[in-house]
Structure 1
Protein backbone atom coordinates (compact mmCIF):
# COMPACT_ATOMS: atom_id res chain seq x y z
CA UNK A 1 0.00 0.00 0.00
CA UNK A 2 1.20 3.50 -0.74
CA UNK A 3 1.80 5.79 2.20
CA UNK A 4 3.04 9.36 2.55
CA UNK A 5 6.12 9.72 4.76
CA UNK A 6 6.38 13.05 6.59
CA UNK A 7 8.10 14.62 9.57
CA UNK A 8 6.75 16.41 12.61
CA UNK A 9 9.14 17.68 15.28
CA UNK A 10 11.98 15.36 14.13
CA UNK A 11 9.73 12.27 14.20
CA UNK A 12 8.67 10.30 11.12
CA UNK A 13 5.03 9.48 10.40
CA UNK A 14 3.11 7.68 7.67
CA UNK A 15 -0.43 8.27 6.47
CA UNK A 16 -2.31 6.32 3.82
CA UNK A 17 -2.04 7.94 0.38
CA UNK A 18 -5.63 6.80 -0.29
CA UNK A 19 -6.96 9.36 2.18
CA UNK A 20 -4.85 12.24 0.79
CA UNK A 21 -6.05 14.11 -2.28
CA UNK A 22 -3.01 16.37 -2.65
CA UNK A 23 -0.13 18.03 -0.83
CA UNK A 24 0.09 21.84 -0.92
CA UNK A 25 2.55 24.33 0.51
CA UNK A 26 1.43 26.12 3.65
CA UNK A 27 -0.53 29.26 2.88
CA UNK A 28 -2.26 32.01 4.85
CA UNK A 29 -4.56 30.46 7.46
CA UNK A 30 -7.38 32.60 8.85
CA UNK A 31 -7.96 31.83 12.54
CA UNK A 32 -11.44 30.85 13.73
CA UNK A 33 -12.44 32.38 17.08
CA UNK A 34 -13.51 29.95 19.83
CA UNK A 35 -12.45 26.88 17.78
CA UNK A 36 -10.74 23.94 19.49
CA UNK A 37 -6.95 24.33 19.77
CA UNK A 38 -6.36 21.74 17.04
CA UNK A 39 -8.38 23.77 14.49
CA UNK A 40 -5.78 26.12 13.00
CA UNK A 41 -8.30 28.03 10.88
CA UNK A 42 -9.55 28.29 7.29
CA UNK A 43 -7.80 28.41 3.94
CA UNK A 44 -9.03 29.30 0.47
CA UNK A 45 -7.69 26.64 -1.89
CA UNK A 46 -8.50 27.57 -5.48
CA UNK A 47 -11.86 29.05 -4.49
CA UNK A 48 -12.80 26.36 -1.98
CA UNK A 49 -12.77 27.29 1.71
CA UNK A 50 -11.73 24.46 3.99
CA UNK A 51 -10.81 23.87 7.61
CA UNK A 52 -7.15 23.29 8.49
CA UNK A 53 -6.38 21.05 11.44
CA UNK A 54 -3.00 20.93 13.19
CA UNK A 55 -1.99 17.27 13.32
CA UNK A 56 0.44 17.84 16.20
CA UNK A 57 -2.30 19.36 18.36
CA UNK A 58 -4.81 16.71 17.29
CA UNK A 59 -2.65 13.77 18.35
CA UNK A 60 -1.04 15.67 21.24
CA UNK A 61 2.61 15.71 20.18
CA UNK A 62 4.93 18.75 20.24
CA UNK A 63 4.33 20.96 17.23
CA UNK A 64 7.09 21.94 14.82
CA UNK A 65 8.45 25.47 14.65
CA UNK A 66 7.87 25.61 10.90
CA UNK A 67 5.07 23.79 9.06
CA UNK A 68 5.74 23.63 5.31
CA UNK A 69 2.92 21.44 3.99
CA UNK A 70 -0.82 20.86 4.22
CA UNK A 71 -2.22 17.45 3.35
CA UNK A 72 -5.61 17.86 1.71
CA UNK A 73 -7.57 14.96 3.20
CA UNK A 74 -10.68 13.57 1.54
CA UNK A 75 -13.59 11.47 2.65
CA UNK A 76 -16.38 11.30 0.11
CA UNK A 77 -17.13 14.91 -0.85
CA UNK A 78 -15.64 16.36 2.37
CA UNK A 79 -12.19 17.97 2.28
CA UNK A 80 -10.04 19.18 5.18
CA UNK A 81 -6.45 20.35 5.45
CA UNK A 82 -4.01 18.66 7.80
CA UNK A 83 -1.10 20.91 8.79
CA UNK A 84 2.20 19.01 9.02
CA UNK A 85 5.86 19.92 9.10
CA UNK A 86 7.10 18.49 5.79
CA UNK A 87 6.38 15.66 3.34
CA UNK A 88 9.45 13.56 2.56
CA UNK A 89 8.25 11.02 -0.02
CA UNK A 90 5.64 8.46 -1.03
CA UNK A 91 6.63 4.90 -0.07
CA UNK A 92 5.23 1.41 -0.62
CA UNK A 93 4.62 -0.52 2.60
CA UNK A 94 3.69 -4.19 2.86
CA UNK A 95 0.85 -4.83 5.29
CA UNK A 96 2.85 -7.63 6.93
CA UNK A 97 5.65 -5.17 7.79
CA UNK A 98 3.36 -3.19 10.12
CA UNK A 99 4.12 -3.93 13.77
CA UNK A 100 2.18 -3.13 16.95
CA UNK A 101 -0.96 -2.62 14.89
CA UNK A 102 -3.27 -3.76 17.69
CA UNK A 103 -2.00 -1.33 20.32
CA UNK A 104 -4.79 0.31 22.28
CA UNK A 105 -2.70 3.41 23.06
CA UNK A 106 -4.54 5.91 20.89
CA UNK A 107 -7.45 5.92 18.48
CA UNK A 108 -5.31 7.44 15.72
CA UNK A 109 -2.42 4.94 15.87
CA UNK A 110 -2.27 2.14 13.26
CA UNK A 111 1.17 0.71 14.06
CA UNK A 112 4.84 1.26 13.31
CA UNK A 113 7.02 0.35 10.33
CA UNK A 114 10.80 0.09 10.02
CA UNK A 115 12.33 0.40 6.55
CA UNK A 116 15.65 1.60 5.12
CA UNK A 117 16.98 2.91 8.47
CA UNK A 118 13.72 4.78 9.21
CA UNK A 119 11.16 3.98 11.90
CA UNK A 120 7.79 5.65 11.33
CA UNK A 121 4.47 5.67 13.17
CA UNK A 122 1.39 5.10 11.05
CA UNK A 123 -1.44 7.52 11.81
CA UNK A 124 -5.07 7.37 10.73
CA UNK A 125 -6.98 10.51 11.64
CA UNK A 126 -9.88 10.44 9.18
CA UNK A 127 -12.35 9.31 11.86
CA UNK A 128 -11.14 12.16 14.10
CA UNK A 129 -11.43 14.99 11.56
CA UNK A 130 -14.53 14.03 9.54
Structure 2
Protein backbone atom coordinates (compact mmCIF):
# COMPACT_ATOMS: atom_id res chain seq x y z
CA UNK A 1 0.00 0.00 0.00
CA UNK A 2 1.27 3.51 -0.77
CA UNK A 3 1.76 6.15 1.90
CA UNK A 4 2.83 9.78 1.94
CA UNK A 5 5.51 10.44 4.57
CA UNK A 6 5.51 13.80 6.31
CA UNK A 7 7.37 15.37 9.18
CA UNK A 8 6.01 17.12 12.27
CA UNK A 9 8.76 18.40 14.52
CA UNK A 10 11.26 15.58 14.83
CA UNK A 11 8.71 12.84 14.18
CA UNK A 12 7.74 11.15 10.92
CA UNK A 13 4.21 10.08 10.05
CA UNK A 14 2.54 8.48 7.06
CA UNK A 15 -0.99 8.56 5.63
CA UNK A 16 -2.47 6.42 2.86
CA UNK A 17 -2.24 8.09 -0.53
CA UNK A 18 -5.84 7.02 -1.22
CA UNK A 19 -7.03 9.67 1.29
CA UNK A 20 -4.92 12.48 -0.22
CA UNK A 21 -6.28 14.79 -2.91
CA UNK A 22 -3.32 17.14 -3.22
CA UNK A 23 -0.16 18.44 -1.59
CA UNK A 24 0.32 22.20 -1.69
CA UNK A 25 2.82 24.78 -0.57
CA UNK A 26 1.86 26.96 2.37
CA UNK A 27 -0.66 29.66 1.51
CA UNK A 28 -2.58 32.46 3.19
CA UNK A 29 -4.70 31.22 6.10
CA UNK A 30 -7.78 33.17 7.14
CA UNK A 31 -8.51 32.79 10.87
CA UNK A 32 -12.04 31.88 11.92
CA UNK A 33 -13.27 33.67 15.06
CA UNK A 34 -14.56 31.38 17.81
CA UNK A 35 -13.55 28.24 15.89
CA UNK A 36 -12.40 25.20 17.89
CA UNK A 37 -8.75 25.46 18.89
CA UNK A 38 -7.68 22.70 16.46
CA UNK A 39 -9.08 24.62 13.45
CA UNK A 40 -6.22 26.75 12.17
CA UNK A 41 -8.46 28.64 9.73
CA UNK A 42 -9.66 28.55 6.14
CA UNK A 43 -7.77 28.48 2.86
CA UNK A 44 -8.89 29.28 -0.66
CA UNK A 45 -7.64 26.50 -2.92
CA UNK A 46 -8.39 27.25 -6.56
CA UNK A 47 -11.69 28.92 -5.64
CA UNK A 48 -12.75 26.23 -3.14
CA UNK A 49 -12.76 27.06 0.59
CA UNK A 50 -11.27 24.36 2.84
CA UNK A 51 -10.97 24.06 6.61
CA UNK A 52 -7.43 23.74 7.87
CA UNK A 53 -6.78 21.50 10.87
CA UNK A 54 -3.77 21.92 13.15
CA UNK A 55 -2.70 18.27 13.25
CA UNK A 56 0.08 19.14 15.72
CA UNK A 57 -2.58 19.79 18.39
CA UNK A 58 -4.36 16.51 17.65
CA UNK A 59 -1.09 14.57 17.92
CA UNK A 60 0.17 16.60 20.89
CA UNK A 61 3.31 17.74 19.06
CA UNK A 62 4.74 21.22 19.41
CA UNK A 63 4.23 23.15 16.18
CA UNK A 64 7.28 24.16 14.18
CA UNK A 65 7.43 27.71 12.85
CA UNK A 66 8.59 26.43 9.47
CA UNK A 67 5.54 24.53 8.29
CA UNK A 68 5.87 24.32 4.53
CA UNK A 69 3.10 22.11 3.19
CA UNK A 70 -0.66 21.64 3.30
CA UNK A 71 -2.06 18.19 2.57
CA UNK A 72 -5.65 18.18 1.31
CA UNK A 73 -7.50 15.04 2.40
CA UNK A 74 -10.90 13.56 1.72
CA UNK A 75 -12.36 12.46 5.06
CA UNK A 76 -16.00 11.45 5.43
CA UNK A 77 -16.92 13.05 2.09
CA UNK A 78 -15.39 16.37 3.24
CA UNK A 79 -12.22 17.94 1.91
CA UNK A 80 -10.00 19.33 4.65
CA UNK A 81 -6.38 20.39 4.92
CA UNK A 82 -3.69 19.60 7.46
CA UNK A 83 -0.51 21.62 7.91
CA UNK A 84 2.75 19.68 8.08
CA UNK A 85 6.37 20.74 8.37
CA UNK A 86 7.45 18.93 5.19
CA UNK A 87 6.14 16.24 2.88
CA UNK A 88 9.12 13.96 2.34
CA UNK A 89 8.24 11.09 0.02
CA UNK A 90 5.76 8.51 -1.20
CA UNK A 91 6.60 4.93 -0.23
CA UNK A 92 5.18 1.43 -0.52
CA UNK A 93 4.69 -0.41 2.77
CA UNK A 94 3.56 -3.99 3.08
CA UNK A 95 0.86 -4.07 5.75
CA UNK A 96 2.31 -7.25 7.28
CA UNK A 97 5.57 -5.41 8.05
CA UNK A 98 3.80 -2.91 10.32
CA UNK A 99 4.48 -3.44 13.99
CA UNK A 100 1.20 -3.19 15.85
CA UNK A 101 1.26 -1.50 19.23
CA UNK A 102 -0.35 -3.75 21.80
CA UNK A 103 -0.50 -1.28 24.68
CA UNK A 104 -3.93 -0.33 26.03
CA UNK A 105 -2.95 3.35 26.24
CA UNK A 106 -2.12 3.70 22.55
CA UNK A 107 -4.58 5.79 20.57
CA UNK A 108 -6.70 3.83 18.09
CA UNK A 109 -5.75 6.14 15.21
CA UNK A 110 -2.24 4.61 15.14
CA UNK A 111 -2.22 1.71 12.68
CA UNK A 112 1.33 0.75 13.56
CA UNK A 113 4.97 1.72 13.27
CA UNK A 114 7.76 0.71 10.95
CA UNK A 115 11.49 1.41 10.96
CA UNK A 116 12.55 2.89 7.65
CA UNK A 117 16.01 4.24 6.81
CA UNK A 118 17.00 4.59 10.49
CA UNK A 119 13.85 6.51 11.42
CA UNK A 120 10.67 5.41 13.13
CA UNK A 121 7.61 6.01 11.00
CA UNK A 122 4.16 6.14 12.62
CA UNK A 123 1.34 5.09 10.30
CA UNK A 124 -1.88 6.91 11.20
CA UNK A 125 -5.49 6.39 10.24
CA UNK A 126 -6.29 9.99 9.38
CA UNK A 127 -10.07 9.47 9.51
CA UNK A 128 -9.94 8.18 13.08
CA UNK A 129 -7.59 10.99 14.12
CA UNK A 130 -9.77 13.73 12.66
CA UNK A 131 -13.02 12.20 13.93
CA UNK A 132 -11.98 11.95 17.57
Normalised TM-score (structure 1) = 0.91
1:90 matched to 2:56: no
Match of 2:120 in 1: 119
Q: CA deviation at 1:75?
A: 3.3
Match of 2:12 in 1: 12
Q: CA RMSD in A?
A: 1.6
- Indicate the SS of the match to 1:119: strand
CA contact (8 A) 1:102 1:111 kept: no
**Unaligned runs of at least 5 residues, structure 2:** none
- Indicate the SS of the match to 2:107: coil
- Indicate the SS of the match to 2:82: strand
Matched length = 130
Normalised TM-score (structure 2) = 0.90
CA contact (8 A) 1:102 1:110 kept: no
1:25 matched to 2:47: no
- Indicate the SS of the match to 1:24: strand
CA contact (8 A) 2:76 2:127 kept: no
- Indicate the SS of the match to 2:108: coil
Match of 1:43 in 2: 43
**Unaligned runs of at least 5 residues, structure 1:** none
Distance 1:103 1:91, change over 3 A: farther
2: distance between equivalents of 1:87 and 1:68?
Answer: 8
CA contact (8 A) 1:6 1:88 kept: yes
